[in-house]
Structure 1
Amino acid sequence: MNALTIIERYYKKDSELHNILINHSTDVMNKALVIAEKHPELNIDTDFVKEAAMLHDIGIFFTYAPSVKCFGIAPYMAHGYMGSELLHELGYPEHALVCERHTGAGLSLQEIIDNKLPLPHRDMIPISIEEQVICFSDCFFSKTHLGEEKTIEQVRNSLAKYGERSLAQFNEWCEKFS
């Protein structure tokens, strides 16, 4: 699998949106790979991490988020499950799970309902170690401030809107991946 070839099927090479996606995804991938290198005991599949981290946000083009040059019609929050559907159709079900489960610290069915999120009603929480490390790494990078890594406290503040489970999950990952 070549993640860039898949991305370039849906994103015009060298467009602003392509560059945002590539830069953000590369930052996420690099952080995840550093974690994998620091923790050989976790047996993280680094080849999968390289591919899935690059593809975790492939669904953003479906959404409307002008600040990151997305001019689709779906709410931005939907990019995970929409990217998941796209990768399922292409025959990459494990990569699709990363797309669906990477938002925040993952989202439980209860968080989706309580926050009235525009998402299918099901748990979207990272399960595999690769899903977890990509989700954790993604928390540190936005698409509006490319190349700038957030502090742990900034991440905690942004996750607080999802509730205690998200914060507890993030704190657990901080210990696990530090």
Structure 2
Amino acid sequence: MNIRRYHLMAWLVLLLLACRETPKVAKVAVADTTKTLASMPIEKEELTDSIADDSLNYANYYIVVADTGLSYPKLNLKMKGLAKSLHMQIDMLGRSYNEKENLISLPKNNEDEIYAGEYFPRRIPSESLSLEYLNYYSAEARQKTIALVTGMYAELKQADSALTAVKRINPQAFKFYSKVYIGCMH
């Protein structure tokens, strides 16, 4: 089974098991998201289970980010370069950039009518590159700030290892700890 099918199946299983309520995503603007997130303390304990204790609708992940910005074309070009340098796959989860609407989104004719033409976030740990809206993962992020995510990890050791590799190419890379909504998005 190829990795794309595995990711799709994992998404479907999580969505079917976790359908309860729609997430409430905080959207707070700050002047310098990258510096704020990079200076935040990282949890030092190893997670034994990625599911948060307080709810089955959330998981605690370490997110590694190579860069942030407001320009999709610039970050997309950087993502392609990193993919080659790090020998990593890009997985945009079927999304692309809608230049007219200035939005990372699923196609308007997507089979999921609720999210067709809308942004649908990355919510499962993986070692692939993607462009994501940072404010989904951090309340301190300015709306429409795009993060070049190089991985989402349940374990600190994996995140640290990935960050070290990315920093060799992109010294401004950082990681942060996030409580990610994994429940039903419908």
TM superposition score normalised by structure 2: 0.30
Higher relative contact order (CA 8 A, sep 6+): 2
**Normalized per residue, which structure has more strand?**
2
**Normalized per residue, which structure has more helix?**
1
